[in-house]
Amino acid sequence: MSQLPGVTEMRRMVDEFAPLMNADLPEVGAFHEAVHVREGVTADVIVPQGKGPHKGPHPVLVYLHGGGWVCGSAKSHRKLGYRFAEAGYLVFNVNYRLAPEHPFPTPFEDCLAAIRWAHREAARYGGDGARLAVGGDSAGANLSAAVAAALADDQERPRATLLLYGVFDFGMLRNALPPPELDTPAADAAREMVELMMGAYLGKARSDAALRDPQVSPLYAAAKLPPSHILVGGADPLAVQTEALVKALAAAGVPHEHFVDAGMPHGYVQMEHLPAARPAIERMVAFLRRNV
């Protein structure tokens, strides 16, 4: 499948901003770039220093980057992975295949395979595969929740999830768009961006049943999620997605934490110049320590 209009520009922008967001990496024990997971899929493996309170075997975090299912990579999210490794977690920062060249279900299946691979291979890098969490931001949060629910009855099931400003219900995303009669530059841009991502990942023909598939919209499998840490910025349009997931988790009795950082935009955890970024990372680390 060829790239949709706009995908090339999104990828170029991510590549341009990546050095800014990933400068001044914290110290870790070791870094293994682009380790083979399966055909077309790699992971950057970030190993903690392994001394003092961080002596192994280390708990494991499989991280799934954001980027609207069409862009982003382990490289664009490298510093965030390093932050978790700095805190003592063996991090597998996954390069799953991207839409539109690889639409659903390929990214979902790649992430599912990556968790199983990390569970199996963790000991090679000083990790404990039985103490595994999965997390991600934006599209990566969608994939994290979807694969965690899919693995609920498996031995590789994650003990916890980190869900950063994700899309959890594609139907809600579609229905929240400005109506066609609202003809403003902002409304047009919102419709174009959502259609770009949905069209790339799910294709043009999307039935209501397809949008309710838990592998696509994990809100419909909320009861199968492990303990979850959910965060979003108060200025993020996806805050409504987070609220819907929190309500579903509460109704199902799933342990969870929910944080809304006032005034923060989408993607703020990677923007360490913003005051809420590092405290958000610290809260996630504290949550992992209690649950993994």
Task: Specify whether 138 is catalytic.
Answer: yes
169 is catalytic: no
Q: Which of the residues 110, 137, 213, 236 is marked catalytic? A: 236
Asked if 145 and 225 touch (Cβ cutoff 8 Å), the reply is yes
- Report how far residue 156's alpha carbon sits from residue 216's, in angstroms, rounded to the nearest whole number: 20
- Structure tokens, 5: 């209009």
Q: Pull the structure tokens for residue 203.
A: 């294709």
Instruction: For residue 154, indicate whether it is catalytic.
Output: no
- What backbone torsions phi and psi does residue 274 show, to the nearest 5 degrees? -85, 140
- Catalytic residue chosen out of the listed positions 76, 138, 144, 228: 138
The interaxial angle of helices 139-150 and 106-121, nearest 10 deg, is 70
Residue 116: count other Cβ atoms within 10 Å of its Cβ: 19
Catalytic residue among 15, 54, 258, 266: 266
Angle between helices 7-21 and 185-202 (to 10 degrees): 100
The order of strands in the sheet holding 58-64 is 30-38, 41-47, 90-95, 58-64, 127-137, 160-164, 228-233, 256-261
C-alpha distances out from residue 274 to 243, 263, 264, 287, Å: 23, 10, 8, 21
Provide the annotated active-site residues: 138, 236, 266
